[in-house]
Amino acid sequence: MLILCRIRCPHFDHRIRRLNPCSSMASCSQLQKLKFIRQRLNKINKPAVKTIQSPDGDTIDCVLSHHQPAFDLPQLKGQRPLDPPEGPRVYERDGVMMTAEVEEEEEGEHVQLWRMSGETCPEGTIPIRRTTEQDLLRASSVRRFGRKPRRRVRRDSTSNGHEHAVGYVSGGEYYGAKGSINVWAPHVSNPYEFSLSQLWVISGSFAHDLNTIEAGWQVSPELYGDNYPRFFTYWTNDAYEATGCYNLMCSGFVQTNNRIAIGAAISPISSYHGGQFDITLLIWKDPKHGNWWLEFGSGILVGYWPSFLFTHLRDHATMVQFGGEIVNTRPGGSHTSTAMGSGHFAGEGFGKASYFRNLEVVDWDNNLIPLPNLRVLADHPNCYDIRGGVNGVWGHYFYYGGPGRSVRCP
């Protein structure tokens, strides 16, 4: 009868009203939407060999690594994930290996909530946060679920509601980026806004051919249904138009790690005037195969973006950015109260403001080197600002963020 409904509803037949479950055009449309949702879920969610329940309500499926969404791609059919490559070499100066010291109050092991039970996924599988029907029903667009909204991505743009406070380098050839970000749970004022802090590895023009690789933490009630900060990834090769997605919500990123779940909540988090907890992220291009690898924490390889996903990034990046981004829907005609980072301005400094520290890039010879010329930009400085610096402990760093709507930001 459902098939009959789908065919007959556009020209409703009153004679079959009692037989046809589609009693109106609206209900028929809803049934079609539910069918599309189930098709999307079947594509995203793969059969699990083990399931783990997280304290935050997530369901984590342990999926055979060669059954993850990336292996739906024709280029990867029948293959298995690649072995890890050799990582970038640490920068040396005068024959001395340079490593960053961490202040005592910043130390702390970073975990994800789903790991608190002590369970993990077996070898040969990867953990995938299960996408639910409620996730898709909550989305503003079911068809674009898991993608960022289409928008101009120029950092000097005041349109489309996206606001940034970023540090960046450009004008060279970059083969990766590394930085440590402290993690917060900023207030997000409505389900269709988000607040994130991330690294961008960018090539192409800020138009239809923009290539980006992104990773960091985000609070997105629309995407996840809560206000936990979550580890995320993103990619696109056409300026967010039709390609790419968050996490593993489409075929693209190849995960190789059985201990990190992309899209899962991070714990612990930083507190104002209290303990500061950060995550270290490294994205770099494998010189041998050309794929872009992601490292989380100290030596934990999460996986890679295959080079064939991209056009410009098949070679190298021309810009690297670090920083925060929010969406401002201007509720009630005023600026949103969605916070960036800790929700406090950069001038408040350590323990109060958000930070990025030990910022580095990867050069053509697979060396991690200090940023050659860090510039900072806040496109709405009365709402979210940024202050950069450099010292012997944190290398290149900056504080950033803000509360959104305030006396300074009406």
pTM of the model as a whole: 0.88
Whether residue 26 is contained in a domain is answered as no
Is 33 inside any structural domain? no
Q: Which of 106, 193, 214, 295 is catalytic?
A: 214
Q: How far apart are CA 317 and CA 315, in angstroms?
A: 7
* Within a domain: 61: yes
Following DSSP, what letter does each residue of 375-409 receive, concatenated? EEEESSTTTSEEEEEEETTTEEEEEEEB-SSSSS-
What residue numbers bound the domain in which 383 lies? 44-401
- Mean pLDDT for 296-315 is 96
Residue 36 lies in a domain: no
Residue 92 falls in the annotated catalytic set: no
> Which long-range CB contacts under 8 A does 103-109 form with residues at least 24 apart?
103/393, 105/275, 105/276, 105/351, 106/182, 106/276, 106/277, 106/278, 108/268, 108/275, 108/277
> Considering the domain boundaries, does residue 17 fall inside one?
no
User: Considering its fold, how many domains does the chain have in total?
Assistant: 1
Question: What does the pLDDT look like over 98-155, one tens digit per residue?
Answer: 433 333 333 334 589 999 989 999 999 999 999 999 999 999 888 899 998 765 544 4
Residue among 225, 233, 273, 228 at smallest CA distance from 257: 233
Residue whose tokens read 């967010």: 240
The verdict on residue 130 lying in a domain is yes
Residue 347: which of 383, 271, 409, 400 has the closest Cα?
Answer: 400
Note the pLDDT of residue 152.
52
21 found inside a domain: no
- Strands (DSSP E) contained in 256-353 are 266-267, 278-285, 292-296, 300-305, 317-327
Catalytic-role residue among 106, 163, 295, 325: 325
pLDDT tens for residues 193-226? 999 999 999 999 887 899 999 999 999 999 999 9
Q: Angle at CA 348, nearest 5°, toward 345 and 352? A: 90
Mark whether 214 is an active-site residue.
yes
Do the domain assignments include residue 278?
yes
